[in-house]
Amino acid sequence: MSVMTETTGKSKPKVVILGAGFGGLNAARELGSAADITVVDRNNYQTFLPLLYQVSTASLPADHIAYPIRAALRKSGAKFRMGTPISVDHKNKTVKLDSSEVIPFDHLIVAMGSATTDFGIPGVEEFALGMKTIHEALVIRSQIMRRFEDLTRFEDDSRLAIVVVGGGPTGVEMAGSLAELVQGPLHKDDYRASKHIDVYLLEAGPRLLPMFSPGLSEKTMRQLENMGVKVMVNTAVKEITSGKTTLANGTVIESEVVVWAAGVKGSPAIHDLSLPVKGNRLICDPTCQVTDYPYIWGVGDNAGVIGENGRPLPMVAPVAMQQGTFVAKQIKRLIKGKTVQVFKYVDKGSMATIGRNKAVVQVKGIRLWGAPAWFAWLFLHIYYLMGGQKRTATFVEWIWNYLTFDRNNRFISETL
């Protein structure tokens, strides 16, 4: 028997939130005691995705970017269920989880985020490593460290190529951090072997970080090259096989490790909800309500809310956070008998870190790079890291890494 049928808050609407990412958690916190909330997520933790590349490159322990959802929800009074939705009964307004539990709702907020997309390029799924989960980040770390250990055994010209595909913020941050790992700790570990590692960054378009100004893209490329990264723009990948990355022009890069940071799509789980989907995202009205389903709300990467430029809003954390808060406010308006508003995304700008004292920031008219941008990046990430414990621990780790040029979170997991 379902727990939720015995709910005690008689007049409170039941709100089920699918997904405990930036969007879902913001919605739960904004709703607070106004609703009888149940949050559902396949994990018992929120992954702080903006810092995932730091786990891949041994800068942070995995636990620092895995925040317990139950701890995040304590103040909101929301219930939590670990599980995956397998179907929605639109007649009775219930959602069924893989645990067989059936949860009734008055409002359903769908905020399940995104998954890696391979754009149909052969071999990506089998031979490239994704950048969306902590497990994937630890696989990348283990693979790199394992290949490095192999390399130390060879006294010949053997080289190790690590290829990062995708010149967006994730790819840029990953490539920069990898270069620093190789030239810092791995250099100290085995001078000779570290000299035999190549880091590539491939971008299909004409420049890195296309959401930034061409000037900042250019600066980013030059800084990465100065750090030893082999940056290749206008370079599409045709196929990935074991140990080989084939480019559109036929060139083959011998690549032992390929990291895929080229694109995301809405979570495939939205296809199980019997809701209208287009381009892997829910079809939503400007109010974030799923079209023709006024009691179902789309939030973040899995929602295709159209922006002012007539195109779906970008799949970035600020959109999800703003929509999570917005949707909660709309539900509270409905409770009070008010009408629903239209969502307006406030673009607060973009930032990406390249390396030590190196970043780019673009906020409306303002463009920063170098150390000022890096400190702005640092401050914002520490500020947004959830929970005082993670914030303190991460800060200590970063200060240590900064002062010593070292990275101590590089153990190889036995099973990865």
**Three-state helix/strand/coil letters over 276-344:** CEECCEEEECCCCEECCEEEEEECHHHEECECCCCCECCCCHHHHHHHHHHHHHHHHHHHCCCCCCCCC
C-alpha closest to that of 330 among 281, 230, 322: 322
281 binds a copy of itself (CB under 8 A): no
Residue 274 beta carbon to a copy of itself: minimum distance, rounded to whole angstroms: 24
Tokens of 397: 């780790």
User: Is 173 designated active site?
Assistant: yes
Nearer to a copy of itself, 72 or 264 (CB): 72
Nearer to a copy of itself, 66 or 86 (CB): 66
The DSSP symbol for 66 reads: E
Selected from 84, 133, 291, 325, the binder of a copy of itself by CB under 8 A is 133
From 127-135, 250-258, 291-299, 347-355, span contacting a copy of itself (CB under 8 A)? 127-135
From 183-191, 209-217, 236-244, 257-265, span contacting a copy of itself (CB under 8 A)? 183-191
Q: DSSP 3-state assignment of 90?
A: coil
* C-alpha span between 320 and 298 (Å, rounded): 9
End-to-end CA gap in the chain:
39
Site string for a copy of itself, 12-31 (x = CB under 8 A): --------------------
Tokens of 364: 């409306």
Residue 39 beta carbon to a copy of itself: minimum distance, rounded to whole angstroms: 12
Q: Which residue, chain included where needed, has tokens 């903006």?
A: 50
Give the distance, in angstroms, between the CA of residue 386 and the centroid of all CA atoms in the same chain.
15
C-alpha closest to that of 39 among 99, 86, 80: 80
392 binds a copy of itself (CB under 8 A): yes
Residues 6 or more apart whose CB falls under 8 angstroms from that of 200 comprise 161, 162, 163, 164, 175, 229, 230, 231, 232, 253, 255
132 binds a copy of itself (CB under 8 A): no
Residue 284 beta carbon to a copy of itself: minimum distance, rounded to whole angstroms: 29
Site string for a copy of itself, 57-96 (x = CB under 8 A): ----xxxx-xxx-xx--x-----xxx--------------
157 binds a copy of itself (CB under 8 A): no
- Contacts to a copy of itself from residues 304-363, by CB under 8 A: none
37 binds a copy of itself (CB under 8 A): no
Of the listed 30, 173, 256, 397, which one is catalytic?
Answer: 173
Residue 379 beta carbon to a copy of itself: minimum distance, rounded to whole angstroms: 20
* C-alpha span between 392 and 34 (Å, rounded): 32
The binding site for a copy of itself (CB under 8 A) comprises 1, 3, 6, 43-45, 61-64, 66-68, 70-71, 74, 80-82, 99, 101, 133-135, 145-146, 149-150, 152-153, 155, 185, 188-190, 387-390, 392-393, 396-397, 400, 404, 406, 408-415
Q: What are the catalytic residues?
A: 173
